[in-house]
Structure 1
Amino acid sequence: MPLANKTKRLPVEEIPLLLSAIGRDRDQQAYKRVFYFYYQDLVRYSFSIVRDYSIAEDVVADVLLKLWLLEGKAMEIQNLSFYLFRAVKNSSLNELTKLQRQDSLDQNYEVMDPQNPEQLTISKEFVANIEHAIELLPPKCKTVFLLVREQQLSYAEAADLLGISINTVNRHVQLALSKLYELINKK
């Protein structure tokens, strides 16, 4: 079955019913209806940001999966189109940032001589120190830090996922950065 809009327009009055069916009843047919209705438009939108079709498809699949994983919270969405397009925009921008960061890292590693054992040892030690410092963070602080920094969730997404305020997420990230700086500079 092609991933295309099944109708020209999803009736506005049907959206709360679909969200309720997805969130409360875990109705896969309702989810598929939303998925197939929005998929192509969301992929086109993501593609306009990331300029890579396979990445755009991955971004949209992740966003739509997150909608399913919201369960009961899906019913709180006031404007489904706005929610999905905003989520795709944020995820696409995060992906673009991640790709740019990866390109930058790749360029840095090209400069480093892979045959130089001293540089490799220093790099491995530095990474090990960072990983060890992350492990020493308080559990909640560590969870928030990993969601925001490694999973690339926004503060709002992390707050929503953990059921805490955005200010609390911010406080945990600042605390984590402070402790990491402290722990890494001790060595």
Structure 2
Amino acid sequence: MTEQEVRRYLRQMKEEDSERAFKGFYDLTYDRLFRIAYYYVRDEDAAQEIVLDVFMRLWQMRNRLPAVNSIEDYCFVLTKNASLNYLERENRQSPLPAEHLPEPTDTASSPEETLISEELFARYVKALDRLPQRCREVFIRIREERQSYAQVAEALGISVKTVDAQLQKATTRLRKMLLPDEGDE
């Protein structure tokens, strides 16, 4: 997703009340927002519902969106908060009996560790979005969906060697985007 494309869609949504521009914005950002929601709720149906709710909210606020400095970060925060609200509602509606509650652990994350983890995840999602489409698709199917090389090759109509090459390419590019250069230290 490029900032220019997003800004163009946001302008059209505001100035022309354009549903077509909103559809373009939706197509450009849905996968990323879905990955964010799924990261938190670990349920595909719930993640889809959350993202659709976020898009409804974005459409309702379309006149204010062009003024947002970083729409990427704004959408990330909206999706994260909607996911956390969903989890809170689910926990309130279905309290677990005491025997099913998880045991407290001494390895609870500090607020700083949680923030670092979320920032790293946001960087990962952005980096993943910048990969070429085929690389991204192969990477997600193998690393996130846990499909085999053969399954991915069959689904995409490519050879297993091509799957391997695309995965290596994706991994190398992600590493360069996420890890600081050795010389920068």
Task: State TM-score, norm by structure 1.
Answer: 0.49
